Structure 1
């Protein structure tokens, strides 16, 4: 397979149909965080609050008996958050719930370990275990391995999520990235593992507040948890469903067509507001748009594959014009096409 030589520029945006236009304009630069405080807490609705570091968001619920935190992110964020929670509410964090195992969301839990019980999907158990140093490349990584040596060299990484970080990922300086080294990029670290694992659905009640944990199937990962707060009719989603924005870049690690099935299941949940792990809140209409986008994207890529188009030809012809109003569309569309194509080739 010819290697894609497309280099995707960083362009992360945000929008929110729930807030006033002046406030939305304030967050137009959310992708870089320029002009915003590094850390921030904002009230969402009811007993729910969002906390932010640059462009990453977590969520917490305040109850009379303590606080439920979703995704502590990292030690810096969690340390700042704990100080703020102590000052504002004077209540302990009783639960930390993970959306998935990736280290940009599931790190920092040690800050709350003295009071909190940690909860996550059962697949986090295996996903938090590092692969052996000599573990083989994943099926999709094998597509990049042009010389078949079991490593990804710098030129082979062009167009992937790993190219810009090649020097830091090639930790043994042998000129190639192993599967274990690439695993470290998203999953490495010293995250606190869950104390409680669930499979399909669970609920946690604290101080009269209930949060439902839903596993809607494989999407961005195979251990993603959607968190539904029935009282506020809020659904917290991370990475695979971001209002008004396509999936990020080449959707590395994503599962197709499972991702689409997950979005269909999310539509069946009873909520009004989406609180995403990146960017600003949205509505159920945004979930519907995401599902339609994914339906059209997968169908177009499959049709092109059936017609014998190459990866490069698919990028040139699967234009998705009906969705060009979405934030970051020009940056993310080519990678979305590549990601779906490579995943369908690698895993089916």
Structure 2
């Protein structure tokens, strides 16, 4: 039975690898469209699409577009993807999904409001309006999950609580085993976030575990960079965030200053992350800010209201 189980697992793994091998997984120097599974395409790459990922799912009844990577926003380059879709398909974009409110991910969505219904989490609209985002305003919002069934293809949107903003959602195409996890994943060996400014650290640790255990996921598409990743990334990144949290908190309890904490927390055991040196100080500082508001020291009301520098 053990031999049979191993052979079955090996056969499944090889089948997944063979399936993925026929599709593109890395960006070239020019902006382009790549097919990454049977039904899912991504667009981005070079030019004004600096290593950003957006997706679309064409069906017989219309196209589902997820995010729009136009940088700098307002250049008009969203017309490029719109023209490409019109040239390739004889159906319009029916739905535009906004993964979260950050401008760099959603600027291109505004170009499709002539034919498409915009969708986002229920928390997203106040951020779009307050910040003056150049983006589509959702006409449909949801709280926990939403299924889009179009032309025989099912796309499921999930919200697992606040992570990188209070409105970040994840996009799953279960038939293809594709999960879009913007700003919660990067290619193997890279930290996902330069800082934790708007991160709910504790819930993010929980959500990374949920993403790592989701069924029907073979390909993880990050919001930035290429190539695509796997679910193993979520556990690896969770370990990093959880360890950083524990170490910064220990130093806070020991009443060390921020400068002392930055000096002492090296995270050398996570040195395989190629951008660790680039991101670490900002990760520590924003983790310190988060944990300063998290705990109540013994001298309580006597501590400064703001985290001291």
TM-score (norm 1): 0.71
Matching residue of 1:36:
29
> Shift of residue 291 of structure 1?
1.2
Q: How does 1:150-189 map to 2 (within 5 A)?
A: 187-189=131-133
> Shift of residue 59 of structure 1?
0.6
Matching residue of 1:118:
118
> Following the alignment from structure 1 to structure 2, what is the Cα–Cα distance between the partners of residues 255 and 62?
34
> Which of 159, 184, 192 is the aligned partner of 1:215?
159
Residue deviations 1:15-41 (CA, integer Å, cap 9, x gap): xx9988xx98x76xxxxxxx811x211
Matching residue of 1:286:
233
Q: How does 1:1-348 map to 2 (within 5 A)?
A: 36-37=29-30, 39-52=31-44, 53-74=49-70, 76-130=76-130, 187-244=131-188, 245-270=190-215, 271-280=217-226, 281-346=228-293
Residue deviations 1:297-318 (CA, integer Å, cap 9, x gap): 1111111211222212222222
Matching residue of 1:140:
none
Sort the Cα spacing of 1:307 and 1:320 in 2 relative to 1 into closer, same or farther, 3 A. Answer: same
> Shift of residue 213 of structure 1?
0.6
Residue deviations 1:271-314 (CA, integer Å, cap 9, x gap): 12110110121001111111111111111111121122221222
Q: Unpaired runs of 5+ in structure 1?
A: 1-16, 28-34, 131-186
> Following the alignment from structure 1 to structure 2, what is the Cα–Cα distance between the partners of residues 243 and 293?
15
> Shift of residue 218 of structure 1?
1.1
Report the number of matched residues: 265
> Following the alignment from structure 1 to structure 2, what is the Cα–Cα distance between the partners of residues 277 and 332?
17
Sort the Cα spacing of 1:337 and 1:343 in 2 relative to 1 into closer, same or farther, 3 A. Answer: same
Q: Secondary structure at the match of 1:129?
A: helix
Contact 1:202/1:213 (8 A) holds in 2? yes
Sort the Cα spacing of 1:77 and 1:299 in 2 relative to 1 into closer, same or farther, 3 A. Answer: farther
Residue deviations 1:191-238 (CA, integer Å, cap 9, x gap): 221010000111111000011111122111110010011011111011
Q: Taking CA–CA contacts closer than 8 Å with sequence separation of 6 or more, which of the two structures ends up with the larger relative contact order?
A: 1
What RMSD in Å do the two structures reach over aligned CA positions? 2.2
> Following the alignment from structure 1 to structure 2, what is the Cα–Cα distance between the partners of residues 340 and 247?
15
Contact 1:237/1:274 (8 A) holds in 2? yes
Sort the Cα spacing of 1:255 and 1:81 in 2 relative to 1 into closer, same or farther, 3 A. Answer: same
Q: Secondary structure at the match of 1:99?
A: coil
> Following the alignment from structure 2 to structure 1, what is the Cα–Cα distance between the partners of residues 182 and 168?
8
The farther-off stretch of 245-254 and 274-283 is 245-254
Matching residue of 2:3:
none
> Following the alignment from structure 1 to structure 2, what is the Cα–Cα distance between the partners of residues 344 and 221?
17
Contact 1:99/1:120 (8 A) holds in 2? yes
> Following the alignment from structure 2 to structure 1, what is the Cα–Cα distance between the partners of residues 85 and 196?
34
